[in-house]
Amino acid sequence: MVVMFPVRLHTVPIRLVPREIALLLIKTPAGFPSPAQDDLEEPIDLGAWLVQHPAASYIMRVEGNSMTGAGILHDDFIIVNRAKKPRAGSIVVALVHGDRTLKRLARIEGRFWLIPEAEGYPNTLVDENVEIWGVLDGVARRLP
């Protein structure tokens, strides 16, 4: 019997709207201020930078805390790429008995497992009841 405590994910449609933002390719000291006008580079489109395969990617909202050890928090947006091949060590969205969950894919003693990144959540053996749905490409979060 598999007991799951999934991170619930809500799918958000991707609409890439080009919004270029000035990019400073310098390290930003947290101490003394630095005049930055001389360091301006070409603008960057964050949507295009975050989403590698728009036709095969989805933005989802994370609900739950099983991946906090990987820096993925409740209410974060994640970019999930269905075109990317899952590998051991990848963070993946998997369907377990039809429910989506976000976990790290690991290979242990020749078998694949879904591993949470927080205490109190069980590992799940990847078997015929599990489908790897997509691979995590990025995380987006607004700070308060």
3-state DSSP percent of the chain in helix, strand and coil, to 5: 10, 40, 50
- 27 a catalytic residue: no
Q: 90 near 124, Cβ under 8 Å?
A: no
27, 34, 57, 66: the catalytic one is: 66
Amino acid code (one letter) for 3? V
Which H or E run includes 49? Answer: helix 46-50
DSSP E strands, 2-110: 8-12, 20-21, 44-45, 57-63, 77-81, 91-96, 99-108
CA torsion sign for 104, 115, 64, 11 is positive
Phi, psi of 136 (to 5 degrees): -70, 130
Provide the Cα torsion 61, 63, 64, 68; round to 10°: 10
- 66 a catalytic residue: yes
Catalytic machinery residues: 66, 103
